[in-house]
Amino acid sequence: MPERRVTVASKVGLHARPAALVAKAAAAQPVAVSIAKNGEAAVPAGSVLNLMALGAVHGDEVVITAEGEGAQAAVDAIAELIASDLDA
């Protein structure tokens, strides 16, 4: 199962607009993408509520995972999004 650690770049963390953008991108992937913070249980990344419930703030490290055909590309796409400043 591909896994990638990434630091949240958005100044507001995974809240509101950044969470909506990440959830939309995750839901569009051909495989289910999950996200976890601080060793907590992973949650589906395609849900804005799940992303906001993580409480990931600017500078936090999160772990993105996916399983199945195309999982590495899905993990990379979501990780790149989280690592960019989505506040702009």
Report the catalytic residues.
Answer: 15
Query: Quick one: 88 exposed, middle or buried, by C-beta within 10 A (0-12, 13-18, 19+)?
Result: exposed
Give the torsion sign (CA, 32, 30, 15, 47). Answer: negative
